[in-house]
Amino acid sequence: MKQIPASSSVEDYVKVIYGYTEWQDKPITSSQLATRLGVANSSVSEMVRKLKDLGLVDHQPYSAIRLTEAGLALALSMVRRHRLLETYLVQELGYAWDQVHDEAEQLEHAVSATFIDRMATKLGNPTRDPHGDPIPDASGHITMPPSHPLGDLDPGHRGRISRISDHDPALLRYLGAHGIGVGTPVTVVGRRPFGGPLEVLSGADDAGIDLSDEVVAALWVASTGAHDGCTVPDRAGGTLMAGHPAAQP
């Protein structure tokens, strides 16, 4: 296997490819990758060729991009760095959960493996970051919680918020102002008429709140009980290695 250079751009690309598929099954395309990274399609095409030469991705023209086992291993190591750094910033340095993403993006390429391992020990080897995303262990295994996108749940479904996308700090602040965070209990009431927002009951007092599609898309829920007529299938968690949808089958 070719030696993988310590390039921050290579690390960023494999992390974004992995992140796109972590909570859903569809692999990422070149145009979607360009959008996520904020770069031109031509830049993505050039980097994907480089990643393929390094043995990190499998890609054919006009097809989706999948990580190889080597690419997935590198991606998971970067995900571990990022999420441990976010956790440390919140727990030890007093950052708010909407302030840590950009800081971790800068730090994850600079700190050593020894620093990451000692930080994990200091934190008690956490398994989730402040937004509910799972943290890979030191050997590169990651356990996905049994969760559903909030928008997939039917009326009457009950659960607890298990994960909140951290891509938009303003959205995190909005949710925090309404008392919604990781672990918040929610019950789906249903859609308002004529394509309106999704109404949910949240918190210990079952306060009603209407959530736009943008907010709904950022939330995942772990079920806490069945209800009559439930149409949502059970979803089990699992330990992720090379069989992840991001990886080459």
Tokens of 223: 């079920």
Residue 113 in this model has a pLDDT that exceeds 50: yes
- 28 and 101 fall within a common domain: yes
Q: What is the CATH number of the domain that holds 110?
A: 1.10.10.10
- 134 and 154 fall within a common domain: no
- 180 and 246 fall within a common domain: no
* pLDDT given at position 6: 54
Q: What is the CATH number of the domain that holds 194?
A: 2.30.30.90
- The total number of structural domains that make up the chain: 2
Q: Taking a C-beta distance cutoff of 8 angstroms, is the pair 213, 144 a contact?
A: no
In a domain, 230, yes or no: no
Residue 18 in this model has a pLDDT that exceeds 90: yes
* pLDDT given at position 235: 64
From 91, 114, 90, 118, select the one nearest 103 (Cα to Cα). 90
Look at the alpha carbons of 22, 23, 27, 30 in this order and tell me if their dihedral is positive or negative: negative
pLDDT tens for each residue of 191-215: 999 989 999 999 888 899 999 999 9
- 132 and 163 fall within a common domain: no
Sheet containing strand 158-164, strands side by side: 148-149, 219-225, 158-164, 185-191, 198-202, 207-211
**What residues make up the domain containing 175?**
148-225
